[in-house]
Amino acid sequence: CIFEYIYFSRPDSIVGGRSVYDVRKAFGAQLARESHVEVDVVVPVPDSGVPAAIGYSQHSGVPFELGIIRNHYVGRTFIQPTQSVRELGVRMKHSANRAAIEGKRIILIDDSLVRGTTSKKIVRMMRDAGASEVHFRLASPPILYPDYYGIDLPDRGGLLAATHSLEEMREAIGADSLAFLSIDGMYRAMGEPGRDPANPKFADHCFTGVYPTHLTDQTQVEPQPRQLSLLAEAS
């Protein structure tokens, strides 16, 4: 599953012969190649966005700063049962490091965007702490389809990218700009020439809608034109 490299595995893991830490840095560097914008500092959304932010900073030459401090005594917010509990968890989990971001143009780097709850709160937090511009970059493609193999993702109606265009997502989270890593860019960052539609090297159904097994209790849905258009926008 491609999410082992994006989010689930510990950064010091070796999965399929690849260093997860190095892959995540490569995702960040590829993001910088694809969608860089002039900013003063690169700020990771801790902790899952840190390696990609390091890669983005190293490739772009923009300084890396810990503009967000994470409370490590709060658990993962995206798996909480209700939206109100998730929003409370975000407020408890992150705080702004004003000294690193006040008066600066910042680019936030996170691993992925699911519902947009965390992203929206963090963009607002950065503005409240004095950031003059807040740009957002995701080190994975837009999540358009649910997972049925163990990842706790909502149905399509709860996935921001499945129900909004790129511009609508940018407006929803309140960022000055928004961009995702392209699917081919994700594969290239892993040392592949790109995604081979006839023989994908990883389970990437959350992005493509192409599931590796028949979904016996679901209606198989082919990628719709709007979703294909969104993937093209993101690349």
Using one digit for the tens of pLDDT, what is the confidence trace for 166-201?
A: 999 999 999 999 999 999 999 999 999 999 998 899
| Alpha-carbon span 16 to 219, nearest angstrom | 31
Q: How confident is the model at residue 214 (pLDDT cuts 50, 70, 90)?
A: confident
pLDDT at residue 174, as a whole number:
98
What is the value of pTM for the model shown?
Answer: 0.85
Query: Tell me, which fold does domain 3-234 have in CATH?
Result: Rossmann fold (3.40.50)
Q: Is the peptide bond before 12 cis (omega within 30 degrees of 0)?
A: no
Is-contact 145 208, C-beta < 8 A? yes
| Alpha-carbon span 125 to 203, nearest angstrom | 35
- Is the predicted pLDDT of residue 6 greater than 60, yes or no? yes
Percent of the chain whose pLDDT exceeds 90:
72
- Is the predicted pLDDT of residue 74 greater than 70, yes or no? no
Is-contact 25 38, C-beta < 8 A? no
Tokens 């975000």 -> residue: 90
